[in-house]
Chain A
Amino acid sequence: MRRVVSLAVLVSIVLGMSLLIVLSGQSFYPSENLRWLAVVYLNTTYNPYLPDFTVWSPESVTAIVWDYRGLDTLYETTVFYLAIIAGLALGRGVKRLNQKPTDESGLSPIVKTVTKITGPMILAVAASIGLHGHLTPGGGFQGGATAAVVPVVFIVVFSSFYLLWKGVSSQRMLTLRSAGLIGIGLTSIALFLAGLLLGLPSYVFQNIDKTTSPLSMPYDVHGALLSGTLWWFNLFEFLAVSSGFTLAFIILMTPEAEEKW
């Protein structure tokens, strides 16, 4: 009863504050009027008539994240990488058990069968979110986070040893994750290196040719839009994020082996 009363008081306080804010005209409503900066972005992200400025991506959010402010996103990825490294450092030197999972371990056969069907479906959705990130809402981080749900579900439903027994070990995840980060690094300097080799002016994080630099990443393959670097960034970010989360969950959920003195 006390809980209901305090909840009612809380809700009425929130409602009253919102009413005050609305009445004083201070509240923010998302409107259909765009600010000039948004208009500039929307006019240049996919605009074949401005080939020196366009990103060739109909998804302006991905274009902003990996092209207009790509360096920011590179450092965000580095922060995520370091956070997982810190988590690994906490669990270093701990021997993990690695037993063969039996039929009795985990939940009931019904749950296991359903998980076997839905697991690949979640992965397919995750891959489509990640690899279509330059066409529709989504991107590497979103797809990678969705894909990371699959190992969690498998660990809970089957057993904490199931993934290890199937070969999804923490070492392999670490390798995959490093490969993802190296891929992001190489993609960001790819055109710069090509410029060095060919003796042409080019920039780090360059995607499509600029007025001062004629180099350009291919933006379509046989008519399928790839948006230059965006697709590659999304692919490598997908690898790095999904394997990073999987790594953290393997480290957290596998029980430690008994210390043998």
Chain B
Amino acid sequence: MSLDLLIYAVGAAASLMSVVAVYLALVERDLVKAVIYSAIQSVFYSLLFYLFMSPDIVLVYLPVAGGVLPALLLVLISKTERFERE
């Protein structure tokens, strides 16, 4: 039973931290940093998926949301402007 409690506690912490990362990604004016915050949120999500017993989703979520999607966004940012304006 204590293992269940630990899983729920880590899951709650991870989901709260993902909310923080989403907020930071939204208010950040430097788009490169925003992409990094969004990747951090993805890592917390994949931890949640792992804790809630869906390892198949983790395996697709980690490379796509942690590697491929940030790389795609960074390429697009490099072709436009790095800083968001008012």
List chain A residues, Cβ under 8 A from B23.
6-7, 10
CB of B75 closer than 8 Å to a CB of A: yes
In Å, the complex CA distance between A14 and B18 comes to: 11
A125–B83 CA distance with the chains assembled, in angstroms = 37
Knowing A3-B27, A11-B19, A14-B16, the reply to whether A148 touches B68 (Cβ < 8 A) is yes
- Give the nearest-CB partner of B64 in chain A: A145
Chain A contributes a number of interface residues (CB within 8 A of B) equal to: 30
> In terms of DSSP, what is the predominant structure of the interface of chain A?
helix
Asked if A170 is at the interface of the complex by the 8 Å CB criterion, the answer is no
The total number of A-B Cβ pairs within 8 Å is: 61
Residues of chain A with a CB closer than 8 A to B8's CB: 29
Are the CB atoms of A138 and B68 closer together than 8 Å?
Answer: no
B56 part of interface (Cβ distance < 8 Å):
yes
Contacts of B12 in A (CB 8 A): 18
B27 touches A129 (CB 8 A): no
- Interchain CB contact (< 8 A) of B20 among A11, A62, A148: A11
Contact between chains at A245 and B16 (CB < 8 Å): no
The answer to whether A137 touches B59 (Cβ under 8 A) is yes
Tell me the interface secondary structure of chain B in the complex.
helix
A94 within 8 A of B: no
Chain A's closest residue to B22 (CB) is A10
- A191 within 8 A of partner (CB): no
Instruction: Determine which of A30, A138, A248 lies in contact with B59 in the assembled complex, contact meaning CB atoms within 8 Å.
Output: A138
Write the B31-56 contact mask toward A (1 if CB under 8 angstroms, else 0). 00000000000000000000011011
Please tell me which one of the listed residues B16, B24, B67, B75 contacts residue A15 in the complex, with CB atoms under 8 A apart.
B16
Q: Is the CB of B60 within 8 A of A142?
A: yes
Q: Is the CB of A30 within 8 A of B16?
A: no
Give the contacting residue for B19; candidates A14, A141, A146, A149; CB below 8 A: A14
A129-B59, A142-B59 given; A149·B27 CB < 8 A: no
Seed contacts A6-B23, A142-B59, A142-B63; 6 additional CB < 8 Å A-B pairs: A137-B56, A137-B59, A148-B68, A152-B68, A249-B71, A252-B76
Q: Can you list 19 A-B pairs, Cβ within 8 angstroms, ordered by A?
A: A3-B27, A7-B23, A7-B24, A10-B19, A10-B23, A14-B19, A18-B12, A61-B56, A129-B59, A137-B56, A138-B56, A142-B56, A142-B63, A145-B63, A145-B68, A148-B63, A149-B67, A149-B68, A253-B75
